[in-house]
Structure 1
């Protein structure tokens, strides 16, 4: 802090404490309103909304209960380790008795602040996270004692360098070609090195017993996660937005409690299925979303437009690192020795990933196969390929994904957007036109 009350950084601009507090307060008030509005709209979409969703509505307030819980744990001496990508091995964090929490920013307003640091052509999720840091807006980012940054793209690489001005950053390098012995060996070394860093930072040894318990905890969460996704396979018993909120809440909630609450939700949904209590007509077009991750609360406009449009669609699946990719694949352990568990973690986080950062001699075949299988098994009638401008990896894979889905006669719509609320009217017209197309196919 300089004599005139400004914060001096290598990358972040100097902002007076007064301006920082004013901006933070303004964006926070707007965000709380958006959170409340999103939840109210989700309630209206399903008059018989499951009782269990009340818990997730509560935990969706990023400035509420969970923030206070984490702060109380920090005051007891527990460390918080934030992460910005699903490659971060959260089981290692849990095994070290620390709190894992995802810190990517879903605020539109802070992306404009990020423009002061990086060009507007940079991915807006990156710019938004920078902007949130500039005004200390994000509770979980500010509470993090260290951050795991996985270098999946140029934006994420420079983001870690920018944030290192103020926080401890651990970078993880992901091999670009995963289907090779060398790649898995390289990634295994990254996982083991991360284990050492977490142990040193927290002062807690990751023992075989603690890691076993963390993986078992992860297995229970995955089981609940998959149970929820499978309930979306047939006639709709839950709105897509509700399921997406539940999925994403895992990344900041207490793992054990999230698992219990998700199981309770699934109990309710199974009863609804038995009673044929559908949230919308079974003839409603079934939509899958893929592409750039969508982070709560601001970046919720596409799911809202799909499920509140005229005509309406129902989101039954997604292939996003902010959604179904979070917990879809369990860690496969055979012998439960320390080496076996670490190797299993390495394989799960690398081999199961469908991130577009990968390439191979056949292209990113895992992602293509995942999309095709999901479309067939969940009876997906249309796919919205969502890309925020500046997200090059997802934008560049669109043509290949479209060709693959065209072969199984599943229409794909490319929806590019800015990180703003200002284009909602234009997007509404485009999304409804796609829903009309899907409706016509269903009627036919």
Structure 2
């Protein structure tokens, strides 16, 4: 085992969000349009087909929550409060540069927050059905058509079938490249840390030259494979292997994923919505109308807002097998009711496979980090 520094390119992934500010300003100076998004349900293919940039908006810090709480309830999910706080304080350059915000009704808190957000920025809300059947599929397909209409009118462009097909291929290429990178962690021991995987996942939202980004990821994957073949890994074959699931991890990566690896665990899979499952499903490039294919792919994302959400349980089972997982840490943000209720099904799924399970409820404050560390230490030691 070696603790040699990993490829320098990882620094560029961690820095991507900061450098993206400058890149975005340069793109805006060229006249490019920018669409800010919050969730993986927003179909980026539509945005790319409108020749616009897509950027994930800041919602992973407690910095702006006090300002947001002047207008929003205190007992609300930190992600919602942080998102709104960045909008009203102008502390997020991405929010500032966005010509249009696209939201989706993934929870009651967000959909009501969008009403207030619409007073600050031009906000288009997609009405996401919370179940999957033929009726909901048609509703969702119409929502995608409404998004196309909105972008065409907003940016004075025409979104053609050819542009949609090109955008589908681009997004599928990104998914395949990212899946190959994540698959590195299936090796025993894993050649990549969970924090590094998270940096790469996060950077995908802020790298606007996609072809250049794909090449970076391919080189990184190859480099890591070569290091692994030489026996250079940050872990041993006996290091407990952990899967993270639950709410988006952006605001809690340091006190959950980083702490797990500091106390002797190896985070090999991040199942959360910004993680592996975001890159899992491809859009059909060959056999379907582009709008139909896009609608089908996105409505099948297994988020806790969907009912029933058996797809998430099946995916967790598959990841436990594929990544040789010893234990699962289920992270719920305060007041996220759908994920909080679903912890019961996740626990049954995990323990049904004879694996250890730990549920954590937290927020973006670091005040509970010592308490979390104690619980995580006990969990990893048990493994």
Q: Which residue of 1 aligns with 2:168?
A: 215
Take 2:364 and 2:232, find their aligned partners in 1: how far apart are those partners?
36
Aligned match for 2:68, one of 93, 109, 114:
114
Take 1:46 and 1:97, find their aligned partners in 2: how far apart are those partners?
43
CA shift at 1:233, angstroms?
Answer: 0.6
Take 1:344 and 1:93, find their aligned partners in 2: how far apart are those partners?
15
Indicate yes or no: 2:306 matched with 1:358.
yes
Q: Which residue of 1 aligns with 2:144?
A: 191
Q: Which residue of 2 aligns with 1:81?
A: 35
Cα pair distance change 1:103/1:145, threshold 3 Å: same
Q: Which residue of 1 aligns with 2:12?
A: 55
Cα pair distance change 1:123/1:46, threshold 3 Å: farther
CA contact (8 A) 1:52 1:264 kept: no
Take 1:300 and 1:188, find their aligned partners in 2: how far apart are those partners?
38
Map 1:25-104 onto structure 2 (within 5 A).
46-61=3-18, 65-104=19-58
Take 1:334 and 1:212, find their aligned partners in 2: how far apart are those partners?
9
Take 1:214 and 1:344, find their aligned partners in 2: how far apart are those partners?
12
| SS of match in other structure, 1:137 | coil
Residue by residue over 1:268-310, the C-alpha shift from the partner in whole angstroms, topping out at 9 and shown as x without a partner, is 01112222222211211000111110226x653211110112x
Indicate yes or no: 2:250 matched with 1:266.
no
Q: Which residue of 2 aligns with 1:331?
A: 283
Take 2:27 and 2:369, find their aligned partners in 1: how far apart are those partners?
40
CA shift at 1:104, angstroms?
Answer: 4.1
Indicate yes or no: 2:119 matched with 1:162.
no
Indicate yes or no: 2:318 matched with 1:318.
no
CA shift at 1:333, angstroms?
Answer: 2.1
Take 2:14 and 2:195, find their aligned partners in 1: how far apart are those partners?
12
Relative to the length of structure 1, the TM-score reads 0.83
Which portions of structure 1, spanning 4 or more consecutive aligned residues, are displaced by more than 3 angstroms? none
Unmatched tracts of structure 2, length 5 or more: none
CA shift at 1:266, angstroms?
Answer: 0.6
Unmatched tracts of structure 1, length 5 or more: 1-44, 439-444
How many pairs does the alignment contain? 380
Cα pair distance change 1:125/1:46, threshold 3 Å: farther
| SS of match in other structure, 2:70 | coil
CA contact (8 A) 1:55 1:261 kept: no
Take 2:229 and 2:278, find their aligned partners in 1: how far apart are those partners?
28
Higher mean C-alpha deviation, range 203-212 or range 148-157: 203-212
Aligned match for 1:292, one of 227, 235, 247:
247
Take 2:213 and 2:328, find their aligned partners in 1: how far apart are those partners?
29
CA contact (8 A) 1:50 1:265 kept: yes
Q: Which residue of 2 aligns with 1:378?
A: 323
CA shift at 1:109, angstroms?
Answer: 2.1
Map 1:18-29 onto structure 2 (within 5 A).
none
CA shift at 1:60, angstroms?
Answer: 3.9
| SS of match in other structure, 1:347 | helix
CA shift at 1:189, angstroms?
Answer: 0.9
Q: Which residue of 1 aligns with 2:296?
A: 347
CA shift at 1:372, angstroms?
Answer: 0.8
Residue by residue over 1:121-149, the C-alpha shift from the partner in whole angstroms, topping out at 9 and shown as x without a partner, is 11011111122222211111111110110
CA shift at 1:397, angstroms?
Answer: 0.3
CA contact (8 A) 1:301 1:424 kept: yes
Take 1:137 and 1:331, find their aligned partners in 2: how far apart are those partners?
35
If you compute each CA radius of gyration, which structure gives the higher value, 1 or 2? 1
| SS of match in other structure, 2:278 | coil
Q: CA RMSD in A?
A: 1.5
CA contact (8 A) 1:84 1:148 kept: yes
| SS of match in other structure, 1:386 | strand
Q: Which residue of 2 aligns with 1:175?
A: 129
Q: Which residue of 2 aligns with 1:140?
A: 94
Residue by residue over 1:399-437, the C-alpha shift from the partner in whole angstroms, topping out at 9 and shown as x without a partner, is 111011111011110111132011111111111111111
Take 1:129 and 1:213, find their aligned partners in 2: how far apart are those partners?
31
CA contact (8 A) 2:114 2:123 kept: yes
